[in-house]
Structure 1
């Protein structure tokens, strides 16, 4: 079973890749299942969020057209902050998702990739505040499947990599909460595209997650264009095996389905 569980199309503000073309590419690569996870980020990009009606209309059309060639699941990626939980909850309650990625793309309505969030803070302050926001959100919000690219702040840390030991305790707290609530984490293969020297999340976090009893894990390319689809998913599967994992997950109606690696 080959599955890509983090995919964006022209229904996300940072992609112009048509959904049908992405499906064709996935089929050509031999993927068995994909899940679209369009962006919804209230607070900063509210006016640029996914148009649900058009997204779901095109999803249904494509799902029917390609039903004999590939399984296609309906997902969403909530870039959530504490003060946007209510808006995301309303969306979740309204639509019938198979899968929800809960990500942290901004804190205090300040973007990471623009350095707005990091500006005026020490490396310690912005790293700790990033994880603290995730913990606050998951203590208040439960309707998600996995945490997306858990240590993503590393992508945008211009100072260099912050020592994991300094945030380990809060990461453990996050992982324990995830496990206790039968949620999971994803491996995001964009780490290879960003030139990071580790997986996302790191192997150290993945080891911790398994040691703490975590077993719900998805693999996604975070694709935004043709060359991203399915990128290095097979390599990540092998890395998971090395780390002691036996299975990975797909989802249907918010329920994990386990598959052998």
Structure 2
């Protein structure tokens, strides 16, 4: 199968992709299945700046696209940012909507640093530890299908940092995901930004496998149509099996 389970279109404030153009492009590239996964970012500073999306409108829009698309399976998903910090509010918004998959992601550190945008300087060791601790809280406390873009803070780096000091914490994250049957996303948006690897990097994917993990997802995390499918061929083939069909 050829699939992509992390794409943003017109109901994400930071995306320029039109869903109809995405579907046409995916069919041209012989995709079997894609998931549109619009942002649901509910921290106060995000609501103040961008507002909250209309999930009902979004869901109806994707359902209409599904009904008019026969060559491609289109899933309606959602990416909930910092889910563990807004859990009750997020649940009140999504519990009555039958999303095909839910992605969880960490965008903000405890000190309010936004790690989803290019950083002016590398994170400190304390900040990196906080980032992974936030991911552990996310996978422990929230019912998600996929942990998205683990290591996103590195997306603007031009080198792969040594993270061996955080391996015990990463193992805690992975073991929790394995126990809860959460898929690990291989996110290759980092390659579009100059980082010399997809995220998480191959040694971490192998760590996940060695611990007993078997559920992987694959996402371009595209916000521009030209980034959809870009660099997908660099993902090792053993990780290109859809977790939805295992």
How high is the TM-score relative to the length of structure 1?
A: 0.85
Q: Is the CA contact (8 Å cut-off) linking 2:156 and 2:190 kept in structure 1?
A: no
Q: Secondary structure at the match of 1:96?
A: coil
Structure 2 gaps of 5+ residues are none
1:167, distance to aligned residue in structure 2 (A):
0.9
Deviations 1:151-192 (A, max 9, x none): 11212569x644211111100100000001111111111121
Q: Is the CA contact (8 Å cut-off) linking 1:4 and 1:220 kept in structure 2?
A: yes
Per the alignment, residue 257 of structure 1 pairs with: 245
| Greater strand fraction, Structure 1 or Structure 2 | 1
Q: How does 1:49-198 map to 2 (within 5 A)?
A: 49-66=52-69, 68-108=70-110, 109-112=112-115, 113=117, 115=119, 123-141=124-142, 143-156=143-156, 161-198=160-197
Structure 1 gaps of 5+ residues are 251-255
State the number of aligned residues. Answer: 241
Q: How does 1:206-225 map to 2 (within 5 A)?
A: 206-225=205-224
In structure 2, distance between residues paired with 1:218 and 1:139? 19
Change in 2 beyond 3 A, CA 1:65/1:111: same
Q: Is the CA contact (8 Å cut-off) linking 2:139 and 2:147 kept in structure 1?
A: no
Q: Is the CA contact (8 Å cut-off) linking 1:8 and 1:36 kept in structure 2?
A: yes
In structure 1, distance between residues paired with 2:58 and 2:197? 33
Deviations 1:48-104 (A, max 9, x none): 4432122112101111111x2110111001111532122222233121011111110
How high is the TM-score relative to the length of structure 2?
A: 0.90
Change in 2 beyond 3 A, CA 1:110/1:123: closer
- After TM superposition, which residue ranges in structure 1, 4 or more long, deviate above 6 angstroms? none
